[in-house]
Amino acid sequence: MEKVLFIIFAVVAVLSALNILLQRSPLYSALSLIGTLASVSALFVMLNAQFIAAIQIVVYAGAIMVLFVFVIMLLNEPKGVPHIDKQRGLRFLAIPFAGLLLAEAFYVVSSVQLQQPATLSKVENPDQAFGTTWSIGTALYTHYLLPFEVTSVLILMAVVGAMVLARRDGD
Amino acid sequence: MISLSWYLGLSALLFTIGAIGVIIKRNVITIFLCIELMLNAVNLSFVSLSSYFKEISGQLFVFIVMTVAAAEAAVGLAIIISIFRNRASLNVDEADNLKM
C-alpha cells in the first residue's frame, strides 16, 4: 500500500516537474510546480513529517506561488494569459471535484474524535511524536534558537530589500 | 516500508529536472520556478534522511530552507519587476550588461 502511494506521488511529481520545462507560458509552469509541491508534500506525510507537509502547502503552494502568479499577471506577457473560452469543459469538471472535496471534509469531521486538552498536551513517548509540532517546537526553541532568530532578521531584510527594488524612482 | 534509496533517487531526479530547466529556459520567471523546484528536491532528501535516522534536525533544516526560499522569492521577483521595467523583456539573454 505504501509502495503504491509512493509510486503514484513520485510519478505525479516527476511528470509535473517535466511539464514545467515543456510549457511555454510561465503561468502554466507555475501551475505545474504547484502539482509537484503538493505531491512532494504527500511524500512528506509518508515520511513522518506532518508539520513540514502542512507548512509546504501553506507557505510554498499558498504564499510563494501566489506571489509568482501575481508577478506573472502583473508583467502580463500576451502569451502568458490563458484563454477562458477554450476551457469550457473544465466548468463541468468543477462540480464533481467540489462535491468530492465536500464529501472528504464531511468524512474528516465525522471521523475525528475529540480528546480532552490535558491528554493532548502530554507526550509520553518521544518516538511517537516524531515530526509533530511538539518535537519540532522543542528542538527549534532549544538547540536551534539562534538560527530561528537570525531567520527573522533575514525576513526583515528581504521585506525592506523587495520594497526598495520594486519601487519606482519617482516615488 | 520503502527504502531510503527510492526517496533519494526521486530527489536527485527532481533536482536534475530543475537544473536542466535553469540551463535551457530563457524566461527569467521559469528559471526562478526551476530554482524553487531544486530547493524542494533538496528538502525531500533532507526529510527522508531525517526520517531514516530518526533525527529531527533534518526537518528543522527544511524549515530554515523554506524561510530562505520565501525571502529569495520576494527579493528575486522584485528584481524581475525592475528588470522588466527597464528593458520590457523577460529574456535573460537580453540582460547582459555585466557580460565581458
How does DSSP assign A48-91, residue by residue?
T-HHHHHHIIIIIIIIIHHHHHHHHHHHT-GGGSPPSGGGTTHH
Contact A40 B44 (CB under 8 A): yes
What's the rounded mean pLDDT across residues B51-69? 91
B-facing residues of A in 81-110 (CB < 8 A) are none
Q: How far apart are CA A133 and CA A111, in angstroms?
A: 22
* Residue A59 forms contact with B (CB below 8 Å): yes
What's the rounded mean pLDDT across residues B28-52? 93
All domains in chain B, ordered by first residue: 4-89 (1.10.287.3510)
Identify the pLDDT of residue A33: 94
Give the amino acid at B94. E
* Residue A13 forms contact with B (CB below 8 Å): yes
Identify the pLDDT of residue A77: 59
B-facing residues of A in 26-45 (CB < 8 A) are 26, 29-30, 33, 36-37, 40, 43-44
The pLDDT averaged over each successive group of 10 residues in chain A (171 residues) is 91 94 90 93 92 92 90 72 64 89 92 66 63 86 92 93 82 57
* B74: nearest CB among A46, A51, A159: A159
Three cell numbers written together for B73: 522569492
Considering only alpha carbons, which residue of chain B is nearest residue A165?
Answer: B78
Is the ipTM above a cut-off of 0.95? no
Q: What are phi and psi of A6, to 5 degrees?
A: -60, -45
Confidence category of residue B30, pLDDT binned at 50, 70, 90: very high
Contact B81 A74 (CB under 8 A): yes
Average pLDDT, chain B: 90
Identify the pLDDT of residue B1: 73
Interior/surface letters A57-82, b for 16+ CB within 10 angstroms, e for the rest? eebbbeebbebbeebbeebebeebee
Q: How far apart are CA A70 and CA B12, in angstroms?
A: 30
CB B35 within 8 A of CB B18: yes
Identify the pLDDT of residue A166: 82
